[in-house]
Structure 1
């Protein structure tokens, strides 16, 4: 047996997604000897199977939908959707799922990249096993950064594990769309992808175990989406608990506890994501085997593990690319001793890129009340806030504000540009801007963000 190679760099970064790559690159820029490790593609989920390719699909679906709105509003249109150019665009954006450009980007900054599975094997020690079973032992002298991300999680439904179900990976890579798709999970991923492919002729049915879609967002958002998506032909079953899933070689068959029997050519599982801390060997850090995230302080240091930092999904602060990048900056400043502001999480933004978009920041009304806050809320309809914004013309949406103590503690911007309007609301929540300042603001007319001013009046 060949002995493992041993290396003692200044820093090791496990997980080279957006945040991990940023940390590794910036430490290399600072003159450190840095080794970045990942068994998958450098760049992580976002550029290959998440944010970027899914938004290409969403944008293409939006174009199809807009073309269908021409009759009765702007003339005559004939729409013949075609998935092939969408797939080609996704291939181009992902370099056909090749990370050479990303690897070269990192190594050109002076870093070293190892492709392989990393596991913590002792205090300050990492074992990396490559595809050829070669082993490299890394013992970082100054910093170990864990940015391992998450993987799709499948619920323990009898029969599911033995079927060729899809995750977002398979759907993103699909050269052709199935005639029908059963989506297990009514969260952001399932709804974004489900709506996009429905617009290209795929018959989509969404199954959600919770009583409503987007269960973590405001109920008004779920009501809006169900109303709009239903007009496009998507079918929904909420409060639906699966008891079995089967596959006969051609179709998936799902049975719900209430008795519904559903069938489709393909099944997309979008029921959340999970961190595999056991596979990482996190017990070396004193983390319980059943932990769902690594405990970190406001400088991203793993509690009880000197010299170890963690960023991104593994910290449990939100599985968003922007969260990983935010925490990467905090961690790099801490590692290099540069100080600056610690991490804060009272104004974390999130966007579901459906049509209409659902942008939200901070606390929902339910979360604020659960914290015992003296809550005031206000909801304004987009179409009602500006004449000419007609329901059913693609302008459906609302602004909901959640206030306590004279400031906003949460907000939702739902509409054609919900994610963009969210920017000003995120700033207001982050800066704890007094409501009096928002009330004194002049809002341009006619814009979607003008509805924020109308909502402020309701407080």
Structure 2
């Protein structure tokens, strides 16, 4: 018979991705009694299935591409891809998907850890069910922090649920590159993993339902990636609606499109976004629609502000709908910790959220796209500079062209968005992020001296087009 026990803590943190772990640790170090709950691996998606292992795969694939460029630039070379060292490095980086080190680190900061599924059963109460069905009902005296993250979203395509499709989690754990791969979704995850597998010899086909790859980003990013990925040998289908999916042992996966097209591959990676399960979290217990895409939060990340001695409910990370990025959860964790400790400080601001797609070329972006800025009614002017013209010789050696695009609000005289696409686009993005975040006047940016020959000097060329 399952057991039920009661517990009490100052703060209960549900979800221990990077932001949840940071919030729990800091609150415990501040002297609060903190109970932290997670059914999965402490550390969340990033160290085990996301940022870190995927970048090992991406960097390994980039090494192959660089080796293939030696001939004609620096001598001759024969490149033979081998997935085994990649898989070995991923296993080492994730400790073979074991979180003992992370749990010890968390407990070492003074946090009490419960392994299990945490669910709100009242405003002050989180019920934790472990793998054996035993329950611990934890009453929060001061605060509940919801940091449950998100799961891969799987579209309701007829036949898909009956197949052994991959999500990004499955793709990260493979011991060998598949012979062929269908990637459903042309966003960051699908493109990063698709290009990596392609460079290890996998025949890759990307299927995107909208008109563009990376539909959230500037159309110029789509055009650049479409050119480069096609040159890599990836088959790309946009505006492609999948009607049904079939799987046969030996044959593999077959995708049937609405236009009568039929695509076949040994494996299928579903990379169509992520979602937070508010029903599983028990959102109705705090009078939040459990079918909503995210928890509603104010500028202090409060879902329910504390009142009359009752604990407040805070949220951070993917579940807030402000961006499924590790850096977002860490940023929000700081706001939440300051709020619970009563330290004040600036509220959360989202006008300069950076994001990077680690394809080659990298697509780094911050703030608003041109379309988003115009939809908000801003008086917009843009500047677009070609990397090949701004840094002659560098792009030829690295292998890809690129661009810098700036979006300016002419009434306020500041940049509201920018994209750095090309070699080291994520690093070039740093200068744009500072400019957008600090609302640096265009007049100041135009007076800056940009080093030559560097990729970031294309920012100066793009500023010159804004006028």
Give TM-score, length-normalised by structure 1: 0.99
| Cα distance per residue 1:44-70 (max 9 Å; x no partner) | 000000000000000000000000001
Which residue is equivalent to 1:451? 458
Alignment of 1:241-280 (within 5 A): 241-250=241-250, 251-280=252-281
Which residue is equivalent to 1:215? 215
**1:286–1:304 contact (8 Å) kept in structure 2:** no
* TM-aligned CA deviation for residue 394 of structure 1: 1.7
Note if 1:336 corresponds to 2:337: no
Alignment of 1:157-176 (within 5 A): 157-176=157-176
Which residue is equivalent to 1:100? 100
Alignment of 1:403-442 (within 5 A): 403-404=408-409, 405-442=412-449
| Cα distance per residue 1:355-377 (max 9 Å; x no partner) | 00000000000000001111000
Which residue is equivalent to 2:42? 42
| Cα distance per residue 1:141-168 (max 9 Å; x no partner) | 1110000000001111100001000001
* TM-aligned CA deviation for residue 303 of structure 1: 4.0
**1:389–1:395 contact (8 Å) kept in structure 2:** no
* TM-aligned CA deviation for residue 395 of structure 1: 3.8
Note if 1:182 corresponds to 2:182: yes
Unaligned runs of 5+ in 1: none
| Cα distance per residue 1:411-439 (max 9 Å; x no partner) | 00001110001011001001110001110
Moved over 6 A (4+): none
The separation in 1 between residues aligned to 2:13 and 2:391, in whole angstroms, is: 50
Corresponding residue SS for 1:174: coil
Of 352, 355, 360, the match for 1:355: 360
The separation in 2 between residues aligned to 1:303 and 1:409, in whole angstroms, is: 31
Corresponding residue SS for 1:319: coil
* TM-aligned CA deviation for residue 388 of structure 1: 1.8
Corresponding residue SS for 1:128: strand
Which residue is equivalent to 1:385? 390
Corresponding residue SS for 2:140: coil
The separation in 1 between residues aligned to 2:77 and 2:2, in whole angstroms, is: 67
Which residue is equivalent to 1:135? 135
The separation in 2 between residues aligned to 1:321 and 1:390, in whole angstroms, is: 30
Unaligned runs of 5+ in 2: none
Alignment of 1:2-401 (within 5 A): 2-250=2-250, 251-303=252-304, 307-391=312-396, 393-401=398-406
Corresponding residue SS for 1:422: helix
The separation in 2 between residues aligned to 1:336 and 1:311, in whole angstroms, is: 16
Task: State the aligned residue count.
Answer: 459
